[in-house]
Structure 1
Amino acid sequence: MKNLKGKVALVTGATRGIGKGIAIGLGEAGATVYITGRTLEPSDENISGTLLETQQAVIDAGGVCIPVQVDHSDDEQVRLLFERIETEQKGQLDILVNNVFSGVKEIGNAFGQPFWKHDPSLWDAINNVGLRSHYIASVYAARLMNKRQQGLICTISSWGGLSYIFGAAYGVGKAACDRLASDMAVELKPDNITSVSLWPGIVGTEEMFRFSEKWKTEDEKEPQNSTMRDYYNWETPLFTGRVIAALADQQNTMNLTGKVQIIAELAQRYNIVDENGNRPVSLRSLRFIVPSAIPALKKYPWLIPDLKIPWFVLQWTMLQSPKI
């Protein structure tokens, strides 16, 4: 259903992974989707993912997609991007998805080593085109949305804001993304602009499959390694896109603004399924936690109730055992 027909969206960092899935999800819902990335078309350098490939995928899903080559470390390029959207769409921007992130390679290189064994530039590699870029894009998006007194800003964060996953710089950056979304919500609420932080689950992106191979070499007795081996409860990138499309279709999202929203839980609320027809559960659901600890139960997930661990319990548990 083309519920977002007539809406204009921008997805930053959409050449591959979650960004590409979000663009497809918004496109299949009828939105006009602007996408950004550094790589426009395939080259001999064998770079994984390009804007033109994402554009074609959105078109194949029945959507309209406008690729714009942007390096989000350059503020002027970002300013010109929003100037273009304002001109071409007569000032309309309904949805911004802050997704761009350039620290994947650095995270992979630093994997398994403490932060102090790496150059301090690791912080910038992870949080410049990431946390800072989300702030810059939100500034320009809010200026457009303010004129029409409506809009939705989604900042893609992760469970790394709550528990240790990929190192200190990554965790602090994701916690800051959550706080950014929360504090922006306070200042945007008078203008009827919603700001949320979104936590996907374990998403089967190209890079996540590579990370799973690394985890397989770790202690096989660790529950998380079992989860990585058999891809239990993994989500596709499109799942996040479909959930954001459903969120953008709601008449009033102010009751959600400023809060962390878990993709799987929003999917349950809006009756959204993944591209293979299933619906992954939240990572704080007993249906995920128990089978992850007792792998034999993964064949019978329906026997375990889909009950969510309360936030305060989850936070206490993560503090006691920070590695997941």
Structure 2
Amino acid sequence: MTNERKRDDAPTGNVALVTGASRGVGRGIALVLLAAGFQVYGTGRSIDQADLPREIVRLRCDHLNNDETARVFDAIRSGSGRLDLLVNCAWGGYEKMVEGGAFSWPAPFWEQPPHRWTGMMDAGVRAAFVCSAHAARMMTPRRRGLIINISFWAAQRHLGNTIYGIAKAATDKMTSDMAVELKPFDIPVIALYPGLVRTEAVLAAAKSGAFDLSTSESPEFIGRVINALFHDQDLMARTGQVLIAAAVAKEFGVLDIDGKSPPALTLADL
């Protein structure tokens, strides 16, 4: 781990941890929270090489490793003494999508490579569970905090990969049940769905015509939505729910970095 703070240099604002902050959605969220005044910790296996401002505390972590995950929270406890926001964005499901020259991601479940289960369920769902458990231990004594689990529509409709659907459905159910157990401590838990996000991988695929980016979202957009939710005084009324980021944005008047208001996708759009 690198760039860790000492307690005598602890921040006075809100403290956030964004897992999977090296690139894509996680990086966008981390950038927005930093600009909004949060002290931001970001994790990732390649976080040391990530294009991030120096103010973001980089904690190298493979969330498949329990000891490395535990050290992340030890560092936050030592550096800041508390945690106000956890955004579970770590996800290994999009790795090795092309193998042996073939696009294996949409193959039927009986032809899926074992690593894809590990990437989606262990590096995704399990990582979010373990991080949420650590976060809850820090948040419940203060009766303050927010846990956001990044999920997607695959929980509600088959989108080309059975494991993908299982992982997202598990994330939504995990959110719902965690919310029940954290409600007595006034700590909301939310599952948040992005739309089509202009991540590095999506932009690369768009060059071949794979995606229509006309209604897409920047990686920073969902970070703006999370910041708005964090400051919502009535957020406990939403705990345990699945929220569509673009729909929440319209409610709060949140715009994307280009000044646009991305449409809220529905199942019919998918």
Tell whether the structures are fold-level matches, with TM greater than 0.5.
Answer: yes
Confirm whether residue 199 of structure 1 aligns to residue 206 of structure 2: no
Q: Deviation per CA, 1:169-220, whole angstroms, max 9, x where unpaired?
A: 011101110111111000000001000000001111111234446774xxxx
Aligned equivalent of 1:277: 259
Match of 2:247 among 261, 265, 268: 265
Moved more, 184-193 or 120-129: 120-129
Aligned equivalent of 1:32: 39
- Counterpart residue identity of residue 55, structure 1: P
More helix by percentage: 1
2:48 touches 2:58 (CA, 8 Å); kept in 1?
A: no
Aligned equivalent of 1:74: 65
> Which secondary structure does the structure 1 equivalent of 2:257 belong to?
coil
Displacement after TM superposition at 1:233 (Å): 0.7
Identity of aligned residues (%): 38
Displacement after TM superposition at 1:166 (Å): 4.0
Match of 2:109 among 95, 111, 115: 115
1:5 touches 1:31 (CA, 8 Å); kept in 2?
A: no
Aligned equivalent of 1:294: none
The RMSD of aligned alpha carbons is: 1.9
1:1-324 correspondence to structure 2 within 5 Å? 6-42=13-49, 50=50, 53-56=51-54, 64-90=55-81, 92-108=82-98, 109-212=103-206, 216=210, 228=211, 230-284=212-266, 314=267, 324=270
How many residues are paired up?
Answer: 256
1:104 touches 1:207 (CA, 8 Å); kept in 2?
A: no
- Counterpart residue identity of residue 172, structure 2: D
TM-score, L = length of structure 1? 0.75
2:117 touches 2:163 (CA, 8 Å); kept in 1?
A: yes
2:105 touches 2:112 (CA, 8 Å); kept in 1?
A: no
Q: Runs of 5+ in structure 2 lacking a partner?
A: 1-10
Instruction: Point out the structure with max Rg over C-alpha.
Output: 1
Displacement after TM superposition at 1:83 (Å): 1.2
Quote the Cα distance in structure 2 between the aligned partners of 1:94 and 1:40: 21
Return closer, same or farther for 1:77/1:204 CA change in 2, 3 Å cut-off: same
Quote the Cα distance in structure 2 between the aligned partners of 1:75 and 1:282: 36
Displacement after TM superposition at 1:136 (Å): 0.2
Q: Deviation per CA, 1:122-153, whole angstroms, max 9, x where unpaired?
A: 21222110000000000000000001001100
Quote the Cα distance in structure 2 between the aligned partners of 1:236 and 1:166: 24
1:16 touches 1:54 (CA, 8 Å); kept in 2?
A: no
2:13 touches 2:39 (CA, 8 Å); kept in 1?
A: yes
2:229 touches 2:235 (CA, 8 Å); kept in 1?
A: yes
Return closer, same or farther for 1:211/1:5 CA change in 2, 3 Å cut-off: farther
1:181 touches 1:258 (CA, 8 Å); kept in 2?
A: yes
Q: Runs of 5+ in structure 1 lacking a partner?
A: 43-49, 57-63, 217-227, 285-313, 319-323
- Counterpart residue identity of residue 231, structure 2: D
Return closer, same or farther for 1:208/1:66 CA change in 2, 3 Å cut-off: same
1:5 touches 1:29 (CA, 8 Å); kept in 2?
A: no
